[in-house]
Structure 1
């Protein structure tokens, strides 16, 4: 899942070397924290959050474990 997030975001940003995806596993959920360069935050979020919503939709659809919920935080 981490590589999926990176591959989606790398095409959107100007500073791909600054992409960091941290994975936190809890009892009932998996949380992915996406950090990008501050100049690229607007590109990843998009107008009215449309790009962020699309990224989340793809990540949620690609989940393999049906038991845990997946969350994507963009910082």
Structure 2
């Protein structure tokens, strides 16, 4: 693994509750280095942060690491398909505290709208 990938992995695993689910893919092309980050759906909020501030900070740190190695490093945070469902179910159960059972049923068994 390259230094930028090792750095990102250590940083993300320190932030999340499910470090075993952290997966980083590294691709090099004419635009530079692209690191694609996959995390557990429950950890997406921690990685992105309020108003995206944590993600912005991580991208800034990766640019510094890239400059040290004469490379342009970009970060893509993959949103798992199930993350949208997770957010909606959490809204129904926790935040809304009154979503109907039919709304929950439609999400879990009929697909996400």
- The TM-score normalised by the length of structure 2 is 0.62
Shift of residue 69 of structure 1?
1.9
The structure with more strand, counted as a fraction of residues: 1
Unaligned segments of structure 1, at least 5 residues:
none
Q: Deviations over 1:6-65 (max 9, x none)?
A: 111111100000000000110231100010001100110000000001111111001133
Cα distance in 2, alignment partners of residues 55 and 74 from structure 1: 11
- Which residue pairs with 2:69 in the alignment? 65
SS at match of 2:25: strand
CA RMSD after TM alignment: 1.1
Structure 1 stretches (4+) deviating beyond 2 angstroms? Answer: none
Cα distance in 2, alignment partners of residues 8 and 61 from structure 1: 14
The structure with more helix, counted as a fraction of residues: 2
In the alignment, does 2:43 pair up with 1:48?
no
Relative contact order (alpha carbons < 8 A, sep ≥ 6): 1 or 2 greater?
A: 1
- Which residue pairs with 2:99 in the alignment? none
Aligned length: 74
Higher Rg: 2
